[in-house]
Structure 1
């Protein structure tokens, strides 16, 4: 069905007040975009740090309302709610409904990582080359959480897990996926032979997506998810952390303490050029540290002393 769309520009400082007013008068959704997306000032917000909600300095807010909403009455209600804000700049148009999730899934195709790891979306048949007896197939609905296999940071970790499985290092290994997102890495480890996995993420939505994906893949009995404050302190033979370099630096002590002696770690979400500092950061705890590149992104892996 159609919707009435309201669009306006604001600053980062004004954004909470505008969004609060829009939600109070009945906005069905509020979307934030970079107001400078078409200029050289654009910068991507890939994944926030723990407790952070970073935004652009100038934003475009887009709010959807029911189709029969009267724009003039809506503006009157917004001005009454917060008269100090400038509502005269608001623009309106009618937009058609679209199944955005389905449109996204239509672009998400089956992918192979390493020798036998396959990520297959729910709306696709399992491809021919994934029908061998030893194929590790993860059927995925990423939902709202990061992690579908399409990003190089995730692909680097999936190939690493596939290699560990080929070396027989997952068969008896409990795996920690720190910053689990959709749960894709933990699920792949379980499909590759790990007996159990733990996922940790600071986003409750990620934990919901991870648990749902685990159930869909029939491995939920072997997969537990936690917020960072609720995570049981333990050590693991295999730890993977696909977050960002700043978080990997801040969490180095924590992540190192989670890896059992002789255990393996993989760190991803590292832009090319950031790997040297992180190699030095993790060297006190790990041997055989290696940096592997995929496009603009790096993975560091090593063995705990």
Structure 2
């Protein structure tokens, strides 16, 4: 399979906006080429040797992401163009907003990401390790073996890291967990290794489901199943879950509230992340309109993760 490496030339202010659009379109992660960071490293002497010249133009950055070359690609590129133009009409400072793309093969995509993904401890116990690196865990650590594959969610992004830290506090033995918009499957795998019972990981994107299934098998977590589904549709008629995770985007989380009552057990918790800071109020409003309360929230790098419960459950 080939992938489209999509690049958008923008500004520092526009980078997060463009990155968010790309993720909404199903991007397999994003990277930012920021010349000012290169200058900072040169000036700080953090490299023993470099022949890189100092960048002259530090106001322009390039956001890159990967989209699968399938029947949706053309529509995704048209949508990206329309959304970027929409930002321009709204007077967002996005700079040139120039969009281009090239194609890379699966193996080229994977090799590209090896330069960016390394073993990382997230929270108190969870360690995320790419399969090409060696790591000896401490006695209480939980190691998740994860290659970036083609789905968003390696633990490096703030939204995923916040969810992993929350899972260390929320997961109880044998609890039922639904992971909506599972991406790489990292949250479902973490929940399993933290002691949860039956876990269903679901994603609308079939590529994400395939990658999640591969990661599930690589981590030998037999109580996790990856299934294609539009939100919680696949759980219709199944027992409700004590914990539902949704590391997606604000608009999809708002849609999720319509299905939540039927699938969240009494006293259960929704862990919602992927919420850009200027959409926090929208999610809080939608929660209240559906009879839910945001109990707690963590914020990192302009993103928020929320702990949400039924308001009625709080009265008992």
Normalization by structure 1: what TM-score? 0.70
Aligned residue in 2 for 1:7: none
Give 3-state SS (helix, strand or coil) of 2:207's partner.
Answer: helix
Map of 1:118-157 to 2, 5 A cutoff?
A: 118-127=127-136, 130-132=137-139, 134-157=140-163
1:169-199 Cα distance to aligned partner (Å, 9 max, x none): x202111110000000000000110122101
1:286 to 288, 292, 296: 292
Aligned residue in 2 for 1:223: 224
2:246 corresponds to 1:261 = no
Q: Distance in 1 between matches of 2:115 and 2:80?
A: 29
Aligned residue in 1 for 2:304: 298
Map of 1:31-110 to 2, 5 A cutoff?
A: 31-34=5-8, 36-37=9-10, 43-44=18-19, 45-48=21-24, 53=76, 54-57=79-82, 59-62=99-102, 99-110=108-119
Task: Please report how far the alpha carbon of residue 32 of structure 1 lies from its aligned counterpart in structure 2 after TM superposition.
Answer: 3.6
Q: Are the aligned partners of 2:287 and 2:294 in contact in 1 as well (CA < 8 Å)?
A: no
1:53-111 Cα distance to aligned partner (Å, 9 max, x none): 3322553243579xxxxxxxxxxxxxxxxxxxxxxxxxxxxxxxx94423422421112
Give 3-state SS (helix, strand or coil) of 1:185's partner.
Answer: helix
Q: Distance in 2 between matches of 1:273 and 1:215?
A: 37
Q: Are the aligned partners of 1:174 and 1:197 in contact in 2 as well (CA < 8 Å)?
A: yes
Normalization by structure 2: what TM-score? 0.67
Which structure shows the bigger proportion of residues in helix conformation?
A: 2
2:246 corresponds to 1:246 = no
Gaps spanning 5+ residues in structure 2: where?
27-71, 83-97
Do the aligned partners of residues 64 and 120 (structure 1) sit closer, same or farther apart at CA in structure 2, a change above 3 Å counting? closer
User: Rg larger in 1 or in 2?
Assistant: 1
Q: Distance in 1 between matches of 2:260 and 2:299?
A: 21
Aligned residue pairs: how many? 238
Q: Distance in 1 between matches of 2:242 and 2:102?
A: 46
Q: Distance in 2 between matches of 1:40 and 1:302?
A: 30
| RMSD of aligned Cα (Å) | 2.8
